[in-house]
Structure 1
């Protein structure tokens, strides 16, 4: 597998289980790129939805992807603190076209006080039936929901104090 280089601008492509494109982030600057981890930063980047609609992100964000974990985390820097949006997803792959993953509907939103809510369980149930998620995938995904909640509660990994701020400073340095 190719590895994105630090300072490189890449796209992020999110797919659904059936292989259809879900969402594309036009530009993210790689802050760390290894075989296992990609950390990126973006701000006011164009996002294109599967139906062709576009929108622009409202605030700076630090994105954390892992090649062995079934989730990714976006830390959004807002005036009242850092909010996290966690996608339950396949591990990422990078193929020089883009960083790619499969979005499995379930999300966890984390607030600046580290309280959180699980989102889109109904969408997960609908897509699970419609796209025939295998039982083994279902078990992996729910195990990763529990793992994410553990990381949030213990402020570990991308939820550790200063994680987002540290990488945001690096992002600003790359932007010049």
Structure 2
């Protein structure tokens, strides 16, 4: 059974070799369905694999599509919404823990919907070091194209009003909890 909206979940990402990559200490679950899990957080503690800790600087809406090989973090800043799209395995949810494998490639999308593809060298290095199977490499490349298609089509979290609507819901469920 999935946690109820308003409850806190922890998000953990791992590398292909199952080593820890990053932990988001606490995100508030806003919505869960057969298609998607949406969470929100603000100034949440993030712990890196090396133990370094830092806090996010702004509110964010995180979207995890079931079966998708990417997830999005929409960061709400004064000058617009910035997106960080992690290319990774479909997520798993067990109790209050959401986890996935991070496959290195990322897409940073700016408020004007231009974008940069990040960490291509890291993907190539890790695919050799960790011996990514051909189907994983193929899924990662397909997911990258899918993210870029979604950005171009303003689909899913990139559609006008999506982030604002879920941020308002986040404020309501978060306030109910405090």
Shorter-chain TM-score bucket reads over 0.9
1:3 touches 1:35 (CA, 8 Å); kept in 2? Answer: no
| SS in structure 1 of the partner of residue 167 of structure 2 | helix
Q: Distance in 2 between matches of 1:37 and 1:56?
A: 25
Aligned to 1:63: 62
Quick one: distance in 1 between partners of 2:64 and 2:94?
A: 14
CA distance in 2, matches of 1:104, 1:47: 18
Q: Tell me, in whole angstroms, the C-alpha distance in 1 between the residues paired with 2:80 and 2:128.
A: 37
TM-score by length of structure 1 reads: 0.97
Cα distance in 2 for residues equivalent to 1:100 and 1:70: 12
Aligned to 2:9: 10
1:25-174 pair list within 5 angstroms: 25-174=24-173
- Structure 1 gap ranges (5+): none
Please give the secondary structure, in 2, of the residue aligned with 1:132. Answer: coil
SS in 2 for 1:30: strand
Given that 2:7 and 2:28 are in contact with CA atoms closer than 8 Å, whether structure 1 keeps it comes out as yes
Q: 1:37 to 1:93 in 2, by over 3 A?
A: same
Secondary structure of the equivalent of 1:171? helix
Residues 18-69 of structure 1, C-alpha deviations (whole Å, 9 max, x = no match): 0011000011000001243110000000000111110000000000002211
Does the 8 A contact of 2:3 with 2:96 survive in 1? no
Q: Secondary structure at the match of 1:91?
A: coil
- Give the Cα separation in 2 of the matches to 1:122 and 1:5: 39
Structure 1 moving runs of 4+ over 6 Å: none
Any idea what the Cα deviations from partners look like across 1:86-114, whole Å, max 9, x if unmatched? 00000110011410000000000000000
Residues of 2 paired with 1:31 and 1:153: CA distance? 26
Stretches of structure 2 that go unaligned for 5 or more consecutive residues are: none
**Partners in 2 of 1:52 and 1:175 — Cα distance?**
28
Distance 1:27 1:120 in 2: 26
